[in-house]
Structure 1
Amino acid sequence: MSKAPVSASQAAGPGIYDHVDHSEPIGHGNSPAAWTTVAIMLVGALIASIAFVIANTPIFIAGVVVMLIGLVVGFIMRKAGYGVGGSKLKNAGH
């Protein structure tokens, strides 16, 4: 057995992300749809967290429902053209 050090690239072989195209930036989802979704889901998470601490199941479920509503609102806003590259944002400088 050889005592020579082995680098991680030699030991692991080719990775699954070696052929990913990084020439175009993926962006960060800066759109009204994304921000609205995150804001609604944060409120839902806050409600659910507080309900969890005070052991109130109905309020916890209400917080989870608010988070699901946030997902639906974001999806509807994206389809309405307020997502990244949406038709409503073409001239807004986003």
Structure 2
Amino acid sequence: MAESAHQGSHGGSAKSWLAVTVILIGFTVGGVALTIGPDWFLFWVGVGVVAIGGLLALAFDIFSDVIVDAPRDMPSLEHHSPFEQRH
């Protein structure tokens, strides 16, 4: 697994958010294009913007920006429902 230079928080790095923002803008443009007509030229512009955002995501390696926490071991507490029949 690749180690990320970003070690601070679960928020991700600015370049990862840039790639995600470009993808969201592309989806928004494509969605608006479908609802106003459909305007196929504008739809394909949105698809192109999504593709550019995907290439940015690959170039920025946003999947290495993940911080994996150790699994939590939470004790299970005994719980009795008022509708439960006890023997």
Range class of TM-score, shorter chain: 0.5 to 0.7
Where structure 2 has 5 or more consecutive residues not aligned to the other structure, the ranges are 1-8, 67-87
Where structure 1 has 5 or more consecutive residues not aligned to the other structure, the ranges are 1-26, 86-94
- Residue of structure 2 equivalent to 1:74: 57
| Greater RCO structure (CA 8 Å; 6+ sep) | 2
Superposition deviation, residue 32 in structure 1: 2.6
- Residue of structure 1 equivalent to 2:79: none
Runs of 4+ in structure 1 deviating by more than 6 angstroms, as ranges, are none
Say whether residues 1:44 and 2:30 are aligned partners.
no
TM-score normalised according to structure 2 size:
0.54
More helix, by proportion: 1
CA deviation string 1:56-82 (max 9, x = no partner): 001101101100100101211229xxx
Give the root-mean-square deviation of aligned CA atoms.
2.3
TM-score normalised according to structure 1 size:
0.50
Number of equivalent positions:
56
Distance in 2 between the 1:74 and 1:28 partners? 17
Superposition deviation, residue 33 in structure 1: 3.3
Opposite residue 46 of structure 1, the aligned amino acid is: T
